[in-house]
Structure 1
Amino acid sequence: MAYTPDKPKLAESSDELRARIPGWGADLDPKDRPSVPKERFDPGASEARWEFPARQPEKWPRERSNEHKFLTPVFGTACPPKGLSGAMRKHAYRAYSEGRAAHWLLLLAADRVDTVESTLRSFVSTRPDNPITETGVLGEFTHHGLSSRLRGQRADRVHHPLDPIIVAAPWVLAGALAVTVVRRAAHGRR
């Protein structure tokens, strides 16, 4: 038994396990295993016409796990790393292996930073985000939002009080920051 001074029992032999557990070891004999033909190495079975697949060109240095020798032959290019969030992602891949919690926590934090960067970027564009139409708030009033939230056994009912805070907080903070900047600029001119 674990955590006691007693000597642990030795592992049971195959015969003892087979006698105690019905069907134990049924797949030990290769002829009884359905996957054995797939496990045999037969280069002609795959019908591949290459030794190693053609590699996709790397237009910029991609983030990659430090456990892998090289980048996979095909990879996504839809969202290149940029800004502070991109630097955080690159650091997560460069400094920590995928088995470490710090790697994944940094990637999660980079996602949150990316949303803030995107919101701030929308403020300086010619078409800023519209939180009223783009978050579905109007649907709450036109498609029975409140009654659907209160009726039934919805799993997300616990976080309903937090939804307005999560959606509105970035906008309120950005507005407060803008007011502070304008006030300081106006105060500096006096």
Structure 2
Amino acid sequence: MTKSQLWNIPKDYDQVTIAGEAEATRDQAVALLKLYNNRLPIKATPEQLVEMYYNEAGKEGIRWDLAFCQALLETGFFHFGGTVVPAQNNFCGLGTTSSQVRGAYFATPDLGVRAHIQHLMAYSTSRKPSTPIVDPRYQLVYDGKVRNGFFDRWSQLNGKWATGSNYAEKIMNIHEQMKSLITVSGADWPKETR
């Protein structure tokens, strides 16, 4: 059995890029989050949170749908329960290096989303963020990538962003769940919000 069969993900999942256009819609992202958690312990609704990812990642050319899936994985669909607590607005485990280290804190959900997208940029592109840097580890990761090479695919984050060799596979599995949802409205939100 191949990894793609085991994880229910596309055969070419290891070629999926961090940057690029989304394949899922905002309606699908909201529906998936509400399926697992309808009452977020942060100061944002599911719709607002998805919109934050859509706008922030869109400004930077990062795939918002996969970044959001990464946040769903890192936060346990925003139930938290691990080292990071909701008040941190840290949706990607930023700076959490052990069960004793909580990692970075951000004043608002918007800033937490921005830091997440900036951290993905630090790993994946030599281009600097278009907004003021709020990711406290951005420069450290960016400098390392300048020296050793950037990662442009999600599969390259295995064992790097978080421990474990199936990190990207877990994100892709969540993404496949998201894309499989048929939303009630049948239409996505207007793209003019960016």
User: Structure 1-normalised TM-score?
Assistant: 0.29
Higher radius of gyration, 1 or 2: 1
More helix by share: 1
